[in-house]
């Protein structure tokens, strides 16, 4: 199994100008890999809403598209966003980092975590392009197919869990991130 850092390093090396929305645990990792004004780390009460934010940004800027880095606990908080994502046919790549834990609240195991199949949930919601990887080598070998394929798409990455993770602090204040993103997108 891969770590969240290893999984995101693969994506960071291949990124080519997409907006990236992170929340909860990925918001503490992604800033170590990227310092782009197109990165948006949303943490306040956002558990479950990264997909919504990424979808809105992608609809406003379809030529750029968005990568959404979501945890399994966050995804469970808003499964309905999969249906909305499927209905919009937006340029969104949703990456679900599944470690079987509610990491940001202290590392509690997600009840029934090993029975949850996010790939089947995404397909049932109507998303046609769904991938799953549970080893770093598989993810490295499949990332180009994922990135060059149609959207929306969902990638389910099974990653190692870390107990006791606390909610990360955003690298920059929220207002500053919004202003930076607006400037990078030419909307202010």
For domain 4-185, the CATH superfamily is Thiamin diphosphate (ThDP)-binding fold, Pyr/PP domains (3.40.50.970)
Whether the per-residue pLDDT at 131 is higher than 50: the answer is: yes
Task: Give dist(CA 121, CA 88) in Å, integer.
Answer: 17
Q: What are the sequence ranges of the domains in the chain? A: 4-185
**Rounded to whole angstroms, how far apart are CA atoms 149 and 129?**
8
Q: What is the pLDDT of residues 29-80, one digit of tens each?
A: 899 999 999 999 876 666 778 999 999 999 999 999 999 999 998 899 899 9
Distance (Å, rounded) from C-alpha 53 to C-alpha 37? 16
- Quote the mean pLDDT of the chain: 88
User: Is the pLDDT score of 84 beyond 70?
Assistant: yes
Q: What is the pTM of this model?
A: 0.89
What is the pLDDT confidence band of residue 155, given thresholds at 50, 70 and 90?
very high
Cα dihedral 102, 124, 131, 30, rounded to 10, equals: -40
pLDDT tens digits, one per residue of 136-146? 999 999 999 99
Assess contact for 168 and 27: CB atoms under 8 A: yes
């Amino acid at each position: 199994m891969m770590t969240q850092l290893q999984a995101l390093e693969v994506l960071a090396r291949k990124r080519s100008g997409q907006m990236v929305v992170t929340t909860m645990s990925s918001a503490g990792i992604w800033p170590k890999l990227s310092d782009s004004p197109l990165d948006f780390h949303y943490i306040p009460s956002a558990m479950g809403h990264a997909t919504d934010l990424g979808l809105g940004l992608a609809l406003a800027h379809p030529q750029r598209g968005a990568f959404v880095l979501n945890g399994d606990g966050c995804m469970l908080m808003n499964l309905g966003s999969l249906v909305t994502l499927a209905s919009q046919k937006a340029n969104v790549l949703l990456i679900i980092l599944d470690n079987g834990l509610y990491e940001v609240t202290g590392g509690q195991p997600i009840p029934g975590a090993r029975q949850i199949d996010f790939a089947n949930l995404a397909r049932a919601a109507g998303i046609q392009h769904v991938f799953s990887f549970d080893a770093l080598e598989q993810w490295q070998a499949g990332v180009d197919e994922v990135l060059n394929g149609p959207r929306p798409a969902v990638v389910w990455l099974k990653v190692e869990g870390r107990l006791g993770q606390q909610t990360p602090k955003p690298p920059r204040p929220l207002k500053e991130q919004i202003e930076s993103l607006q400037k990078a997108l030419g909307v202010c």
